[in-house]
Chain A
Amino acid sequence: MSGSGRRWIANLAALFGVMAAYLLLRFPPAESRFYPRCPVFAWLHLLCPGCGGTRALAALLHGRVAEAVHWNAMVVGLFPVAAVFFAISYWRAVRPGTFQWPAVPDSALKLLLVVVGVFTVLRNLPAN
């Protein structure tokens, strides 16, 4: 892909990110009905690892960390990591030269996937 095409996509993705943040700030998911329901929860009645993530992000954007953790602790924990990852990706996409995604060690990735799996099991235990 050409550099200008890459920059165009990066800026478009950033614009979508800003619009999504504005949407979450202006229309909190807890008070608005137009947000789509998680298909996993709707069909299986199980909490997927992302369930409550939208509400958690909205609470984070409002600075209510405790409430965000209540909705989805994993999303709160991963949010700074994902934000740094996408910020670096954006910077690499808009600067001249060859684009490369930020490298994430395989071991860290495997650990994260295990954490996601354990989190999913724990949040679906009957005690919760």
Chain B
Amino acid sequence: MNYFIDRDGQQYGPYTLADLQRYVASGDILPTDMARSEGMDAPLPVSQIIGTIQVPQAPVSAGPVTFAPQYPDPPNLNWGLVLLFGIITCGLFTTAWDIVQAVWLRQIAPQSKALYYYVGYVANLVLIVVLSAMASYQHVSNPLVRILQLAGFVVHVTGRFSMKNSLERHYNAEEPMGLLLSGIMTFLFGGIYFQYHFNDIVKRKNYDRAMVSAS
């Protein structure tokens, strides 16, 4: 059974019972946090869900508890601004922002291939501009441009889905946050959609840091 945590109007999860135990032990989830699952009518405190199941104790540290960021935070420009800058630059800003996101992704998931696809897409764009300009000066049309446009579209979409897969893998294993990305939203909005989730991830990580600092 999977559980969701409600905290400050935000929903986190899904978590298994084992996840809940582990996070309560590490202090990331408080026993007083409210949790619910699909079969529950109303949320219950985590302490009641864990109940009498023994929670492994966190190791006692000699010094004060400090948060050690193992992975860098995602780029945190407001997703609305990414959309706005993308609109007024006819997509150029979002193309550049895709690269920024993919460079960051390589830091947390070095096996990710998204950066290669995005760089390939940009190189393809440059080639299209050059060929279009040459064809325009010669007053002819170049059929290769259409083929390159189609190839660019395929490479761009492949990059988006490569990014989606790497993000889901990372945020459900190394940094378990229960991230689940929609295929349709990835296809339609790509980097803007990812940015929306990055803003949420940074907010959650900042909250966790504040909780760790406060405890």
Contact = CB atoms under 8 A, between A and B. Distances in A.
Contacts of B83: 113
B213 interface: no
Nearest to A112: B84
B77 A101 contact: yes
Contact of A36 (B77, B107, B128): B128
Contacts of A49: 87-88
A74 interface: yes
A39 B80 CA distance: 22
A123 to B, nearest CB: 13
Interface string B127-151: 0111011001100000000000000
Interface in A45-94: 48-51, 53, 74-75, 78, 82, 85
A74 B128 contact: no
Contacts of B78: 101, 104, 109
Contacts of A109: 78, 80-81, 84
A1 interface: yes
Interface residues of A, number: 28
B84 A33 contact: no
A1 B80 contact: no
B89 to A, nearest CB: 6
Interface of B: 72, 76-78, 80-81, 83-85, 87-91, 104, 107, 125, 128-130, 132-133, 136-137
A80 to B, nearest CB: 13
A54 to B, nearest CB: 8
Nearest to B135: A33
A39 B89 CA distance: 12
Contacts of A101: 76-78, 81
A39 B150 CA distance: 12
A53 B84 CA distance: 13
Contacts of B137: 33
Interface in A12-66: 33-40, 48-51, 53
A39 to B, nearest CB: 7
A49 B91 CA distance: 11
Given A33-B133, A33-B137, A110 B89 contact: no
A55 B80 CA distance: 25
B87 A34 contact: no
Nearest to A33: B136
Nearest to B137: A33
Contacts of B88: 49-50, 53, 74-75, 78, 82, 116
CB-CB nearest 9 A-B residue pairs: A34-B133, A109-B80, A50-B90, A33-B136, A50-B88, A36-B129, A38-B90, A101-B77, A49-B87
Contacts of B128: 36
A34 to B, nearest CB: 4
A56 B169 CA distance: 43
Nearest to A43: B149
